[in-house]
Amino acid sequence: MTDIGNINGIFVCKKGYQSGAIKFAEFYGINLKELRVPVDSDWDGRIQTIQINLSALHMNIKQRLTVFDNDWLKAKFPNPSEDKHFQIKGNNNEILIKDKDGNRITDLYELDNQLPHDNWKEELNKEHEYKWDDAYIDVEGIGTIKLLSIKYVYDVQMTEPEEIIISGKDTAKAILKDVKTGGIKFFDKNGNIK
């Protein structure tokens, strides 16, 4: 290092250094590092464990009543057969509500997730209605039908709390300690600095 000049030396070991080695390194400007498995004292003053109590809000939809525009239906089907039954099929995110030009307004998945509720309060038989002036929905075997509203009856329920514990001791697989400053960097099993 002296022959080359203008460079810093780094020495890395697993067990630490004796006082003479530390004095020698300081005199010659050599950086001393420890690379090793973490020990309990490395966690002093640091968060060792994070505990999360996770509870989720769940909407139990008991009824979804679709209200169509009867006047619009009579105009579109002036001579309906006696019993006209139809179904709306598909996953919630596939059942689209569109405007008159066929552009997407929303879908049942979004409506389900936007149902009003008081945060962290269970409620039973709650009711809500979405209304539109000019909305349409595709019905199997018939085509597009004008929709007035969708009425919901639902329960707001909380799941049982689940405890999740994240231990730093389980995630930190190695540390790199600067002997001079005492600074520590933690590494996970993939070598990423934490």
Burial class of residue 151 (count of CB atoms within 10 Å of its CB; 0-12, 13-18, 19+): middle
Structural domain that includes position 76: 56-158
Do 37 and 130 share a domain, yes or no?
no
Average pLDDT of the chain is 88
Burial class of residue 65 (count of CB atoms within 10 Å of its CB; 0-12, 13-18, 19+): exposed
Percent of the chain residues topping a pLDDT of 90: 46
Do 39 and 66 share a domain, yes or no?
no
Instruction: Give the pLDDT confidence score for residue 130 in this predicted structure.
Output: 97
Return phi, psi of residue 80, to 5°.
Answer: -70, 155
Domain for residue 85, yes or no? yes
Is 177 a residue whose pLDDT tops 80?
yes
Q: Six-digit token pair at 123?
A: 């409620």
The secondary structure of the chain in percent helix, strand, coil, rounded to multiples of 5, reads 15, 45, 40
**75 Cβ contact partners less than 8 Å away, ≥ 6 residues apart:** none
Domain for residue 3, yes or no? no
Do 83 and 124 share a domain, yes or no?
yes
User: Once rounded to an integer, what is the mean pLDDT over residues 27-39?
Assistant: 89
pLDDT in tens, 45-101: 888 888 999 888 889 999 999 999 989 888 887 776 655 667 788 899 999 999 999
Do 90 and 139 share a domain, yes or no?
yes
Do 34 and 106 share a domain, yes or no?
no
pLDDT in tens, 19-28: 999 999 988 8
